[in-house]
Amino acid sequence: MSITKKSLLLIIILLYIIPTFIQANYSETNTIEGVYVGLPIMQSGDEPHYYLTLYSLVNDGDVFLTNNYDNAIYNDGPDAGSKKLTPYDRHSRFFDSVNRNIISIPMVDGLRDLSYTTEVDSYIKEIPGHPLGLPFFAYMFLFPFKNTSILEHIAIFLTFVFSLLGILVFYKLMLFYHNNKKIAILFTGLFALATQYWYYSKTFWAEPYLASFLIISWYLIVSKKSLFAYIVSGILLGFGFLIKLPFLLLIFPFYIYLLHSYITKTINLKQGIVFSIPITTSLLGVLCLNYYFTKNPFMFDKMDSLGFILPFRPLTNWFFSLRFGLFVFSPVLLFAFLGIKRFWKKYSIHCLCLGLMMGLYILFWTTHNSDMALGGGGGYSGRYLVPIVPLFAVFCSFYNKVNYNKYLFYILLGISFFINITAAFAYPTFIDTSIVSSFEKIIGFLLG
C-alpha cells in the first residue's frame, strides 16, 4: 500500500514530536540514567548561549549580557534555559563603548576576571560571542512571551515549526522537479527522517533555520515568478546571512540563476531588484554593527582564525570521520553523487547553481583553519554542513534506480533512518562524539 502525502506528513510530524517531548535523561556526568518526559529544553552546545541573548532581548530589551550570565551561573536563573552553566561557559565578548572596540578581559585561575568589568561597568559591556541573527529572528515571534516561564519551550517549538515548513516546501520542490508523487514522498521522507536535519529540528541551533531558509528560498525562486515570492526569498536569505555569515556563500549562486533567467527572459529586472533589497539591507546592517563595535565595518568576529589549509584531509574528515562525518551519520546521502548526471541532463542551470552552493560551502569549511571547523562544528555530525543537507537530498532524488544500486539504496536508507532516530531520542549522547562511542553508551544503558 502506497503512502499518501497526508500520511507522510502525519508520520513525520509524529516522529518529530515524540523525541521532542521524550528524551533520554542524563546525570551530571552525562551518562544516560533514564527517560525524560516533558517540555523541550536547552540541552547542550551553543543552544543556551543563543537562548540567553534571546532572553535578554525579550526581557531586558538589550544584548548586554553580564546580568544574564551572572544570573544563570551564580543564581541558577532561567536566562540560559534549563542548561546549567559554569563560569567557564560565557560565550561573549567585551565591548568598550567609549573607545568603540572589542577588548580582552584578564583571566584569574582560568576564568574571566569580572571585577575588571565592575570597575568600569559604565562603559564596558558584555555582548554576545555569537551572531545576533538567530536571537533577533526568534525575537520577532517570541516578544509577547516576555516575563513568562515558557519562553524556553516556545523557542524550541519555533525551530520545530520552521523545520516542518522546510520539509513541506521540500516536498513541493520534489513535485516541481519530478512531477511524481511517489518520488516526492520517498525523498521527502529521506530528507526528513534519514539525515541530520531531524536531530537539529528540536533544538535552538542555527542550522535547521539555515537549511529551511535555503530550500524555501530556492523553491520560491525556481517555481514562482511573483514579486512577493522573490521578496520573501530575499528576506529569508538575508536572515540566513545574519544568522551565520558564511551563509553568504550560498546566496551567490542565486544570482547566477537570476542572471540566466533574465537572459532567457523568464524574469525581468524588477524581480531581481526586490530579491536583492533585503539581502543588501542585511549586508549593510552587519557592516554598520561592525562599525559601531569596532570602527571598522569589515572587522568580522573571529577573523584572526580565518586561516586556510589544504582541504584534502579535512574533507575526508568532514565526510567520513566517525565523530562528525556527514556520510557516516547519513550514508544514504552518498547517492547524491549518482544523481549528478541525470540532474544535469534535465535541469543543467539548477544543477550548476545547487552544486556551486555545495562546493563553495564545503570548500570554506574544509579549508577553514580553526579548531571548531577542524572538529566538525562541535555538534551532531558535521554541524556546519547541515544547511546544505537538503541539497544533497535533491541530488539523491535524481539517481537512476538500476538493479545494482536499488537494494543498496534502501539498505543505506534504513541504516540512515536508524542512526538518526536513535540520535533524535538520545540528543547529548551524540554531541561531538564518535558514533561508535555513542552507541556503546546506549547499548550499555539498555543492557543495564
Quick one: DSSP state of residue 368? B
Predicted pLDDT of residue 68: 93
Question: Does residue 403 have a pLDDT over 70?
Answer: no
For residue range 239-280, what is the model confidence (pLDDT) as tens digits? Answer: 999 999 999 999 999 999 999 999 998 888 999 999 999 999
For residue range 413-448, what is the model confidence (pLDDT) as tens digits? Answer: 999 999 999 999 988 888 888 999 999 988 888 887
- More confident position, 118 or 81: 81
For residue range 169-183, what is the model confidence (pLDDT) as tens digits? Answer: 999 999 999 999 999
Residue 325, H or E segment: none
What percentage of the chain exceeds 70 in pLDDT? 88
Question: Does residue 289 have a pLDDT over 80?
Answer: yes
What is the pLDDT averaged over residues 207-230? 96
Compute how many other C-beta atoms are within 10 angstroms of the C-beta atom of residue 302.
11
CB environment 314-334: b (16+ within 10 A), e (fewer): beebbbebebbbbbbbbbbbb
291 — pLDDT class (breaks 50, 70, 90): confident
Residue 45 to residues 22, 148, 377, Cα–Cα distance (Å): 19, 24, 10
The single residue listed with the C-alpha cell 567520513 is 320
Compute how many other C-beta atoms are within 10 angstroms of the C-beta atom of residue 61.
11
What percentage of the chain exceeds 90 in pLDDT? 60
What is the pLDDT averaged over residues 282-292? 88
The answer, as to whether pTM is greater than 0.75, is yes
Predicted pLDDT of residue 428: 82
Residue 266, Cα to own-chain centre: how many angstroms? Answer: 32
Predicted pLDDT of residue 1: 47
Q: Which residues contact 170 (CB under 8 A, 6 or more apart)?
A: 188, 191, 192, 215, 219, 390, 393
Picking from 139-143, 159-163, 369-373, 397-401, which range would have the lowest pLDDT averaged per residue? 369-373
Residue 110: exposure state from Cβ atoms within 10 A (0-12, 13-18, ≥19): exposed
Q: Which residues contact 45 (CB under 8 A, 6 or more apart)?
A: 205, 378, 379, 431, 432
Q: Quick one: CA torsion of 372, 41, 58, 127, rounded to 10 degrees?
A: -20
Predicted pLDDT of residue 125: 85
What is the pLDDT averaged over residues 340-354? 96
Predicted pLDDT of residue 294: 79
For residue range 78-91, what is the model confidence (pLDDT) as tens digits? Answer: 999 988 888 878 88
Predicted pLDDT of residue 446: 82
Mean per-residue pLDDT of the chain? 88
Among 231, 183, 169, CA closest to 390: 169
Among 49, 23, 48, CA closest to 36: 23
Predicted pLDDT of residue 185: 94
Predicted pLDDT of residue 414: 97
331 — pLDDT class (breaks 50, 70, 90): very high
* Cα angle for residues 433, 439, 442 (degrees, 5° grid): 110
372 — pLDDT class (breaks 50, 70, 90): low
